[in-house]
A and B are shown apart, each in its own frame.
Chain A
Amino acid sequence: DGGITQSPKYLFRKEGQNVTLSCEQNLNHDAMYWYRQDPGQGLRLIYYSQIVNDFQKGDIAEGYSVSREKKESFPLTVTSAQKNPTAFYLCASSMQGNTEAFFGQGTRLTVV
């Protein structure tokens, strides 16, 4: 089945540790995105990539890093510099800009 897969679904991290969230798509989409969602809030853009080996910061990139070495994969690293990392993280992909974006099922990260 074609789709976008995020793993793991739940993740616990100790304060001060880096953690990497996985996002894989087999839709042959060029563009991929990472959003953060806090309780009762809309989604905010962390990073996005329109093509392999290129990515841009979104509105809340501080404390996060990404890579786009393959078209299918866009992992997000939450670093220890992120002051409030507990949130629901959503990855999305689209064929190009301003076309339908498909979302994964999300990763809920909790810092303990």
Chain B
Amino acid sequence: GESVGLHLPTLSVQEGDNSIINCAYSNSASDYFIWYKQESGKGPQFIIDIRSNMDKRQGQRVTVLLNKTVKHLSLQIAATQPGDSAVYFCAESPGNTGKLIFGQGTTLQVKP
């Protein structure tokens, strides 16, 4: 079946370092990928998205990389701050319905 997975359940980084969160997806038909941040007890917040015709997209302090050859998605956070501590989910959207298939999530812990 379709699935989206993340390589590590927890990532611990030092404040100021860069963070890289990885995700593997399985549906080659997906043409839209998104990263969400979820803080405890809250709904997910959109971080950045990328379409399958791109391999890189940059936002403010964040970069998403898409490697369709190996079905791999990554989120890079520059100069990680304590406020970045949260659970990060990647999601893919096959077709054009807007339905999202979520991975399990990676917990990012930022050490002061």
Contacts and interface: CB of A to CB of B under 8 A. Distances in A.
Interface residues of B, number: 26
A99 interface: yes
A63 interface: no
User: Which of B89, B93, B99, B102 has the largest number of chain A CB atoms within 10 A?
Assistant: B99
Interface string B76-112: 0000000000000101010111111111110000000
A48 B105 contact: no
B100 A43 contact: yes
B46 A102 contact: yes
Contacts, number: 71
Contact of B32 (A43, A44, A58, A98): A98
A102 B98 CA distance: 11
B99 A43 contact: no
Interface residues of A, number: 29
Contacts of B99: 33, 45, 48, 58, 97
Contacts of A99: 98
Contacts of A106: 41-43
Interface in A10-47: 31, 33, 35, 40-45
9 contacts: A31-B97, A31-B98, A33-B99, A42-B102, A42-B105, A97-B96, A101-B98, A103-B43, A103-B45
The 5 closest A-B pairs by CB, nearest first: A103-B43, A42-B102, A97-B98, A97-B96, A98-B32
